[in-house]
């Protein structure tokens, strides 16, 4: 939280927390250069400290736009497509909840969750066979 307090508007810069950590370190904090000094162990504190109010506002606007888009898209989707979309959203929410406790979820979200979500959504958009089509033998 100290990084966000010292750099409220822009933060310290993406992935730059380790640079300011020595001056923010608590007396019993992890030694500079250790794994614990690379980032705060909370995704939201990390976003606030690294991107400041500008980055957090952009993140919230992005989530808001995503939620509106998903809501609008799922409203007219067939039931099987709606279940797929909601399952993907549930996985994303689980990663965001996990981010309350550690930033490892950010790595998972960036390098694992987003590509697999993109593949699933591309497959759904391309017309994966749904249960009704499978039952008909198509």
Rounded-to-integer distance, Cα 60 and Cα 74, Å: 21
CA 81 to chain centre: 22
Confidence label for 112 from pLDDT (cuts 50, 70 and 90): low
Rounded-to-integer distance, Cα 19 and Cα 50, Å: 11
∠ CA 120-126-128, nearest 5°, is 70
Q: How does pLDDT run across 20-63, given as a tens digit for each residue?
A: 877 787 777 777 777 766 777 777 888 888 889 999 999 899 88
Q: Could you identify the residue written with the tokens 């990084």?
A: 3
Q: How does pLDDT run across 70-87, given as a tens digit for each residue?
A: 888 888 888 877 887 888
Judge whether residue 110 has pLDDT over 70: no
Residues contacting residue 32 through CB under 8 Å, at least 6 positions apart: 18, 21, 22, 25
Segment 103-115 shows an average pLDDT of 62
Higher pLDDT: 110 or 14? It is 14
């Amino acid at each position: 939280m100290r990084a966000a307090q010292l750099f409220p508007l822009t933060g310290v810069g993406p992935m730059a927390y380790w640079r300011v950590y020595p001056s923010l370190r608590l007396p019993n904090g992890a030694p500079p250069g250790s794994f614990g000094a690379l980032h705060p162990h909370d995704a939201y504190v990390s976003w606030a400290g690294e991107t400041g109010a500008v980055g957090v506002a952009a993140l919230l606007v992005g989530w808001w736009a995503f939620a509106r888009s998903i809501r609008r898209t799922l409203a007219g989707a067939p039931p099987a497509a709606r279940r797929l979309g909601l399952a993907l959203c549930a996985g994303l929410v689980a990663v965001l909840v996990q981010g309350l406790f550690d930033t490892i979820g950010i790595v998972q979200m960036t390098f694992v969750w987003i590509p697999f979500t993109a593949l699933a959504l591309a497959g759904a958009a391309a017309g994966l066979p749904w249960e009704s089509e499978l039952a008909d033998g198509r």
